[in-house]
């Protein structure tokens, strides 16, 4: 049985491919090619059913979703009859938020006979377990992480985001549709509203949404996140242990030390 990576942008698809015992088929949504990986098959949402049948013809029995995508604009002129019949179901889910959309996407793949697996089934080492991975975590940081975890849990309950920035108990920003980079850039621009950094620089916290399907859209951190955290004047990164993908963990640990940040998988 062949495995296909349904790839989006970024480095995660290549990291997964490297962890697999056999080369996967790499399929990418048009306009969202992954880094460092040759794409075997490109597809559009408007031609979803022909794409699923192409996977069947190529002997694919298992798929894994990896990488970043944004909601594409649909061109009705490209719809085939079979995909058009599925469109109301997709559009209803998209109106309900990302979690609902992803659940329907998984359901559609399963209805065509594909087994959908998550990152932890293929590359569990990408999801670090509990522990301080770099730097030192203070009691102030622990309190900020507890506050941030409560905020992210509330965000997840309404399907908004997976991250928040907290300093000395104050929420400086939350992750929404623009994503992590936009959040950290926003925090970097905060002026007088920011508390005195001498009493604690604060942290960026990331976690999976409560109850989300762990086979798709687990949060991801990488070296660029650490650079953005440092540029925002924060003290470090905390994340939910076992539920957040870390790309190039060894590089992240070295970079955290270099930037004077802590990196903490919070249990």
Residue 16 is predicted with a pLDDT of 94
* Strand 245-246 to 220-221 pairing: parallel
User: What percent helix, strand, coil does the chain show, rounded to 5?
Assistant: 40, 20, 35
| Secondary structure letter of residue 132 according to DSSP | E
Contact 116, 110 (CB under 8 A): yes
pTM for this predicted structure: 0.90
Residue 140 is predicted with a pLDDT of 98
Cα separations in angstroms, 266 against 120, 127, 235, 259, 262 = 18, 12, 15, 20, 12
Task: Indicate the fold that domain 127-266 takes in CATH.
Answer: Cytidine Deaminase; domain 2 (3.40.140)
Residue 222 is predicted with a pLDDT of 95
Sheet containing 41-43: give its strands across: 41-43, 25-29, 2-7, 60-66, 115-117
Residue 1 is predicted with a pLDDT of 86
Residue 95 is predicted with a pLDDT of 80
Residue 99 is predicted with a pLDDT of 77
Residue 87 is predicted with a pLDDT of 87
Residue 228 is predicted with a pLDDT of 98
Domain boundaries, the chain: 2-122, 127-266
Task: Indicate the fold that domain 2-122 takes in CATH.
Answer: Rossmann fold (3.40.50)
Residue 127 is predicted with a pLDDT of 96
120 class by beta-carbon count within 10 Å (0-12 exposed, 13-18 middle, 19+ buried): middle
Residue 119 is predicted with a pLDDT of 94
Backbone angles phi, psi at 6, to 5 degrees: -90, 100
Return left, alpha or beta for 36; rule: phi > 0 is left, psi -120 to 50 is alpha, else beta.
left
Reading the chain (267 residues) residue by residue, the pLDDT tens digits are 899 999 999 999 999 999 998 999 999 999 999 999 999 999 999 999 999 999 999 999 999 999 988 878 889 899 999 999 998 998 888 888 777 888 899 999 999 999 999 999 999 999 999 999 999 999 999 999 999 999 999 999 888 999 999 999 999 999 998 999 999 999 999 987 889 888 999 999 999 998 888 998 899 999 999 999 999 999 999 999 999 999 999 999 999 999 999 999 999
């Amino acid at each position: 049985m062949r495995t296909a990576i349904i790839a989006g942008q970024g480095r995660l698809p290549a990291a997964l491919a490297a962890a697999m015992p056999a080369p996967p088929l790499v399929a990418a949504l048009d306009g969202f090619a992954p880094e460092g990986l040759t794409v075997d098959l490109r597809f559009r949402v408007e031609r979803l059913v022909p794409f699923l049948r192409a996977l069947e013809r190529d002997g694919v029995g298992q798929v894994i979703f990896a990488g970043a995508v944004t909601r594409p604009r649909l061109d009705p002129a490209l719809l085939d009859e079979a995909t058009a019949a599925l469109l109301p179901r997709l559009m209803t889910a998209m109106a309900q938020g990302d979690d609902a959309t992803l659940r329907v996407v998984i359901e559609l793949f399963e209805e065509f006979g594909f087994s959908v697996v998550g990152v932890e089934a293929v590359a569990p080492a990408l999801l670090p377990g509990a522990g301080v991975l770099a730097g030192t975590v203070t009691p102030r940081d622990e309190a900020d992480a507890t506050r941030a975890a409560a905020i992210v849990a509330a965000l997840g309950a309404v399907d908004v985001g997976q991250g928040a920035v907290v300093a000395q108990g104050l929420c400086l920003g939350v992750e929404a549709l623009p994503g992590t980079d936009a959040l950290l850039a926003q925090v970097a621009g905060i002026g007088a509203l920011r508390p005195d950094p001498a009493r604690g620089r604060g942290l960026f916290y990331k976690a999976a949404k409560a109850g989300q399907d762990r086979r798709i859209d687990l949060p991801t951190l990488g070296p660029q996140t650490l650079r953005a955290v440092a540029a925002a004047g924060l003290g470090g990164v905390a994340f939910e242990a076992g539920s957040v993908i870390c790309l190039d963990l060894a590089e992240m640990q070295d970079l955290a030390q270099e930037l004077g940040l802590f990196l903490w998988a919070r249990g």
